[in-house]
Structure 1
Amino acid sequence: MTSKTRREFTEEFKREAVLLLESSGRPLMQVAKEFGIQPSMLRNWRARGRAPAGSAAGHTGVGKVLLPASAEQAEIRRLQKELERARMERDIPKELAQQS
């Protein structure tokens, strides 16, 4: 029998995955696939990030993941949305050309 090792993810990785999920408007399944993780993991990270500070008692590791704490973080989030939109606009003509 082979044993599976449990993968561990950094807090930064979790924050980036959740931030992309919320800022891109793409389905959770698609974002999870892009990050190579199970959709349930991403769903849990998002839920823990939204939980009030005291409600995560007993859970270690994740805690407060999401909310921008500063104007710089809000600007980063806005720019990430803009970049994602530009990438989609760039990729649409490529996809249409492949279908032809």
Structure 2
Amino acid sequence: MGSTRRSFTEEYKASAVGLVLDDGHSIAETARNIGVHEMTLGKWVKKARDSSGKRPEKPLSESEREELIRLREEVKHARMEAEFAKKVASWFAKDQR
């Protein structure tokens, strides 16, 4: 008794991988929904990640999160100062005329 091996088109694989990588669905959930073994889909996703050159993002640590918040505040403050400087410069330019 021989086993039948299913084959999938590249478009089908890309669509399934897109559900995991782009839409954020889990591999297990997606595999169940499309009728593919979880290991098979996992291999497709791993291959896509490796070929794209993207490293999987890991969550920020607490210190990194605090630094990100601090830096965002600094950028916001710097932008406000730049806007103020532009307004002052235009005001002085009008006064000179």
TM-score between the two structures when normalised by the length of structure 1: 0.47
TM-score between the two structures when normalised by the length of structure 2: 0.48
More helix by share: 2
